Amino acid sequence: MIEESEIKKLKNEYPEFFSQSSPEFLEFIFSEETSLEIASICLENKIEDEETVEKIAYRVTLALLNQVPKENLAKIFEKGARLNREIAEKISTAVKERIFSQIPGSQPITSSLVESEIALPPENQSGAEFKKTRKDTYREPIK
């Protein structure tokens, strides 16, 4: 689990993130249970090298914070943690099932989400029937 002094340092460095995030979500990210679950997933997939486990945990955290797309997590593990495709897929699936499914409440809004916040139209619908899930603040007129 992350130390209280480290959390205070992060709060000072990223006050906007902490003000936009629910206490439950923050507790989930920094909890020992989440860390242990990531370590457990790694061990189940025969990843025992501490450096590799840390790389995987870092990328899971980025996905939790919406800094990387959850849909591409296997590829992110493959490239960033240098895992083979099969192991990366297994870890990605386990993370989605055992960690992402446990996220309390909503996740924080970050500026890097503009493209991922816009839902794509289903293949069987025309663009006219397409609706955005959220406003794209970068393309809204200035008032």
Q: Would residue 116 count as lying in a domain?
A: no
Over residues 55-84, the pLDDT tens digits come to: 999 999 889 888 899 999 999 999 999 999
Cβ–Cβ under 8 Å, residues 68 and 76: yes
Q: Would residue 121 count as lying in a domain?
A: no
| Residue for token pair 């960690």 | 99
pLDDT category of residue 136 using cuts at 50, 70 and 90: low
Q: Which two tokens stand for residue 68?
A: 């990387």
φ and ψ at residue 7, rounded to 5 degrees: -65, -45
Predicted TM-score (pTM) of this structure: 0.65
Over residues 86-99, the pLDDT tens digits come to: 999 999 999 999 99
Which whole number is the average pLDDT over 103-119?
46
Q: How many domains would you assign to the chain?
A: 1
Which of 4-13, 45-54, 131-140 is predicted least confidently? 131-140
Over residues 24-66, the pLDDT tens digits come to: 888 888 889 999 999 999 999 999 999 999 999 999 988 988 8
What gap in Å lies between CA 118 and CA 19, rounded to an integer? 23
pLDDT at 16: 80
Q: Report how far apart the first and last C-alpha atoms of the chain are (Å, whole number).
A: 45
Cβ–Cβ under 8 Å, residues 41 and 98: yes
Residue % of the chain over a pLDDT of 90: 43
What gap in Å lies between CA 77 and CA 87, rounded to an integer? 9
Q: Would residue 129 count as lying in a domain?
A: no
Q: Would residue 114 count as lying in a domain?
A: no
Domain residues for 37? Answer: 4-102
Q: Would residue 57 count as lying in a domain?
A: yes
Q: Would residue 130 count as lying in a domain?
A: no
Cβ–Cβ under 8 Å, residues 60 and 95: yes
pLDDT at 48: 93
- Count other C-beta atoms under 10 Å from residue 51's C-beta: 8
pLDDT category of residue 127 using cuts at 50, 70 and 90: very low
Q: Would residue 36 count as lying in a domain?
A: yes
Q: Would residue 134 count as lying in a domain?
A: no
What gap in Å lies between CA 40 and CA 46, rounded to an integer? 10
| Residue for token pair 């139209």 | 121
